[in-house]
Each structure stands twice: as structure tokens, then as C-alpha cells.
Amino acid sequence: MENGHGQLAAEYANKPAGYFENSRNEMLDFVPRECMSVLDVGCGEGNFGALLKQRDGDCEVWGVELDAKSADIAASKLDRVITKPLSTDLSEFQGKRFDAITFLDVLEHMVDPESALREAAQLLTPNGVVVASIPNILYFHQISEILIEQDWRYREYGILDNSHLRFFTKKSIIRMFENCGFRIEKIEGISPAVGMKFHVANLLALGRLKDWKYVQFAVVAKLSCVPTP
């Protein structure tokens, strides 16, 4: 499963300092405490995995990271770091299964995120979960900027990150997971917008903009059936 990883790795190499350092504390509670083996796909410098190991001392955390510099740093914090695209064919995974596989702001960078989820399905324990955070293209301030400026402008960070290949709404996130044989256990908006403009707009829309409040959605999903190849 290549998912355009060669080009993506090259783009990552040009990202500004700090891009791979985020520890994502707000996602910690979405990983069940009973998960004793975790694969963090796109682990960056390993800070989220380090948080998991700090929270649950016996937790074994592996990482997948294409950016070589970040992978080297992560290797000092995690139990193992793989610098190849996620695939069940990798020799490192032979017989290995994980209680949780995390994709924190990762799926939107892939040409084919459904393939990544199907690969992940084969690496889960029977009761394992996928935990993901995915940007919401319907975020109020982003949509407002597009409508007012009538422009779609990429940046180094954020919802229109210049390395994002896919864009999601809450509905399309649910559909993607279901297409891959997963059942959504939880989907919750995170990093909400604050300010009068959103509240007024949502009021005028009779509450139909409620999903526009969030920068991202956090997802916890379990397999409901064997995913379609």
C-alpha cells in the first residue's frame, strides 16, 4: 500500500520545525486504558506514544513514521519505529497484533485512506480499536474564509495543510469507516469554535450548523465485519 508515500515523505521533509512535535494530549482519553499494545501511524517524534507509555506503564507502543528525522527521535521514546508505509506484508508485523491503532491527523494525507484502514483491520486484536483525529472541512472559520475571500488557499498547517490530499465532513468520516468494515463507537468534535459569529450563524440556520463548530472529529471504531479487500 503506497498511498503516494514517496511524494508525501518529500513534502514532510520540507515542513517547518515543530510540525512533528505535537503530543496531542486531547486524544489521550480516546485510547482505552485496557489497550496494552498500540501502533501509532504517523507517530511524528513519538510524543503521543510517550504520553501513552507514561499513562499506562506496561503499554507497548510501536510507531510508523516516514519522515526519517522524526522517526529517529521517536525511536528513543517508543518500543519500535518503522520507516516504511503501513502494510501487513511488512516483516516487522508478522504475527504482531495491536489493541489500538491510531491515526492522528494522518488519514487526510493519504491518497487512499480506506486502504490504510483495511490494512489496520488486519493488525488489530479481536477487540481492538482504531482511534483517529480527522480535520473537518466544514469548520465555521474555514468555510467563512472561503466564502468571504472566495479562495482555497493552502498553508503549512491546519485544515488546508498543503500536504492534505483528502477532505472530510462528519458524514464522510462515518461512511469511510463503515465502508472498511468498522462500526463507529464514538465520534466527537474537538477544538470547538468560539465567538458570536458562529452562534449567530447557527441560530439563523436553526441549529443545522452544529458540526461546523469543530476543527476536527475524534473517532473510535471497532471492526463490525471482515473488511472488503
Torsion of CA 4, 77, 46, 2, to 10 degrees: 10
pLDDT 10s digits, 71-122: 999 999 999 999 999 998 999 998 899 999 999 999 999 999 999 999 999 9
Q: What's the pLDDT at 1?
A: 43
Q: What's the pLDDT at 207?
A: 84
Angstrom distance (rounded) from CA 171 to CA 169:
5
Q: What's the pLDDT at 56?
A: 84
What's the gap between Cα 126 and its chain centre? Answer: 21
pLDDT at 8 over 70: no
C-alpha cell at 81: 519505529
CB-based contacts of 218, cutoff 8 Å, min separation 6: 26, 27, 30, 131, 132, 133, 186, 187, 188, 189, 190
What domains sit in the chain, N to C, each tagged with a CATH number? 5-135+163-191+216-223 (3.40.50.150)
The percent of residues above 90 in pLDDT, for the chain, comes to 71
pLDDT 10s digits, 108-159: 999 999 999 999 999 999 999 999 999 999 999 999 999 999 999 999 889 9
Q: What's the pLDDT at 11?
A: 54
pLDDT at 3 over 50: no
Cβ neighbours of 129 (radius 10 Å): 25
Q: What's the pLDDT at 228?
A: 46
Mean pLDDT value of segment 209-225: 93
Angstrom distance (rounded) from CA 21 to CA 43:
9
Q: What's the pLDDT at 217?
A: 98
Mean pLDDT value of segment 16-27: 72
Check: CB of residue 70 under 8 Å from CB of residue 48: no
Q: CA distances (Å), 91 to each of 71, 76, 99, 125, in order?
A: 18, 21, 19, 18
**Mean pLDDT rounded to a whole number for the chain:** 89
Angstrom distance (rounded) from CA 68 to CA 174:
32
Task: Classify residue 110 as left (phi > 0), alpha (psi -120 to 50) or beta.
Answer: beta
Check: CB of residue 184 under 8 Å from CB of residue 129: no
Mapped onto helix, strand or coil, the DSSP state of residue 195 is coil
Q: What's the pLDDT at 16?
A: 56
The least confident of 9-23, 60-74, 199-213 is 9-23
Q: How confident is the model at residue 10 (pLDDT cuts 50, 70, 90)?
A: low
Angstrom distance (rounded) from CA 51 to CA 32:
13
C-alpha cell at 104: 492522528
pLDDT 10s digits, 152-178: 999 988 999 999 999 999 999 999 999
Q: What's the pLDDT at 2?
A: 47
**What are the E-state strand segments in 34-115?**
37-41, 60-64, 80-82, 98-104
